[in-house]
Chains A and B, each alone.
Chain A
C-alpha cells in the first residue's frame, strides 16, 4: 500500500524496505525535472529531514524523508533520465529505498483518499 506525506512524498513499504518518491501532484507542480541530487547509499536519515533536492527547470525543491532509517539504494537511472519522475512519479520515478527503523512511522501517513483531499484543499 502506498502512503503519502503532507510534503508530497509517497512511500511504499515492503517488509522493512520503504521505497520513496514524490507524488504525481508534486511532479506536476514542479514541472520539467532536470536534476536530482541523489543522497549517498548508507546514509542514516530521520523522518522529516531533507532527503535530497530536486531541480526542475523552474526551481529547486527539497524532498523530505517520510520515515527514519538507512538509505540502502538510490535510483541511479535518474542521473541520466530525471524526466522519468515527470513520466512515472509513483512507479519508475522512485528516488530512494530506505531500510525503515520504525515501521510505525508509516502508520501515521496519509492514505490515498486523505492525500487526495489534502491536494484538493491546497488548490
Chain B
C-alpha cells in the first residue's frame, strides 16, 4: 500500500527535506538539521506541517454526554471555544489514543487524534456512539494543519491574522481568517513553546505554508520536521502514543491524573482508574537523568540489587539542556525523586537517577 502524502509534499521536496515513513504517511523528518530546527522553535519560530493528524467531528444533541463517556477528561466543563487534552481509554482503562477535544458548541466537538491511529480511532468512536444521538464524521482528509511554534509566534502571525491572537488564551481557539483563509486558530502545540495551530481546507495549504515562511523570514523561521517535533515534545514530557502510552498502560500510570475527571458519572475505564487512584499504582512513568549515553525506547531498567524494575519509553539527549534524559515506567518503590537505578545501554549497566519532569519548560502560556 502506498504512503499517504500531505498537500505540502511537493513543498517539502523543494525545501530539500528528508522524508520518512510515519504512521502510514510520507513525512519530513528534517530539512537541514534537527538541532537547528529545535533551536529555532525554542528561541524564535518554527513551522511544522502536521496535516497528517486525524480529525473526527462529533455533532448532535448528545455530543457532550457522548464525548464525556468516550474520553477521561470532561468536555461539559469546557466553555465553547475551549480545548482539553485527554486520553481516550478502553473499558479496561488502557489507552486507545490521546487527543485534543475542541468544543465549538454543546452540539459540536472536533477531536484531533494521532495520524497513525486515526482509522482505529474512528472505528472505535463510531462503535462507542451507538445509543447516542450523534453523528461521527472522519474529516482527516479534508483538513490541512500547520503548527506555528515559538516565543515569537504571536508577534509574527498577527501581521496576517484577521482574528485577535492576544485574546486567544492557552488551550482556547477561535475561527476566522488568517492570510485570507478561513481557519480554526488555537493556542496549542506539542513543543512546550507558545504558538498556534491552524486548521483549514487542504486546497489552501501551499498558500498558507509559503506565507508563514515569508512573514517568518525576518525572524529566521525554520520549517521543522518530525525529528524536531519529537525532541521538543520530549523535553516538555508530552506523551507520544506508541512510546510512552499505549494499549498496555493507563493514564494514571502515565502521570495523566490531571486529565481525568473523576466527578463524571461514567466514562470508559473509570472503574480501573478509580481503583488505581484508591489502591495505588504498581508502576509509574517517571523522568530519568542518564549518566552516560542515550537510553532508547524499550531499554530495560534495573534496581541497584539487579532486579528488573521497568523499561524506557522515550529517551534522548536534551538539545536545550544538553543532558541525556529518559521517560521510563518504574515499579513501586523506585519512583521517588533521587532514586538511583540502572539502565542497560548496549549491554552496559549505566547509572540513572529519578528526576522531576518536565526536563525543560518553554514559553508555553501554562504549566500544563
Contact of B346 among A31, A37, A86 (CB under 8 A): A37
Closest chain A residue to B226 by CB distance? A58
- For B227, the chain A residues whose CB sits under 8 A away are 31, 57-58
A32 proximal to B (CB < 8 A) = yes
Known contacts: A57-B319, A58-B29. The answer to whether A35 contacts B35 by CB under 8 A is no
B236 proximal to A (CB < 8 A) = no
Contact of B324 among A32, A35, A86 (CB under 8 A): A35
A73 proximal to B (CB < 8 A) = no
A49-93 residues at the B interface, CB under 8 angstroms: 53, 55, 57-60, 83, 86
- For B231, the chain A residues whose CB sits under 8 A away are 57
A34 proximal to B (CB < 8 A) = yes
Contact of A60 among B34, B296, B324 (CB under 8 A): B296
Q: How many A-B residue pairs have CB under 8 A?
A: 40
- For B29, the chain A residues whose CB sits under 8 A away are 31, 58
Closest chain B residue to A82 by CB distance? B317
- For A83, the chain B residues whose CB sits under 8 A away are 35
Q: Is the CB of A55 within 8 A of B34?
A: no
- For A57, the chain B residues whose CB sits under 8 A away are 34-35, 227, 231, 316-317, 319
Contact of A53 among B34, B316, B317, B346 (CB under 8 A): B346
Closest chain A residue to B29 by CB distance? A58
> Shortest Cβ distance from A38 into chain B, in angstroms?
11
Task: Convert B164-200 into 0s and 1s, putting 1 for each residue whose CB lies closer than 8 angstroms to a CB of A.
Answer: 0000000000000000000000000000000000000
In the bound assembly, the distance between CA atoms of A12 and B293 in angstroms comes to: 27
A-B residue pairs, 5 tightest by C-beta: A34-B317, A57-B34, A55-B294, A32-B35, A32-B34
**Chain B interfacial positions (CB closer than 8 Å to A):** 18, 29-30, 33-35, 227, 231, 293-294, 296, 316-317, 319, 324, 345-346
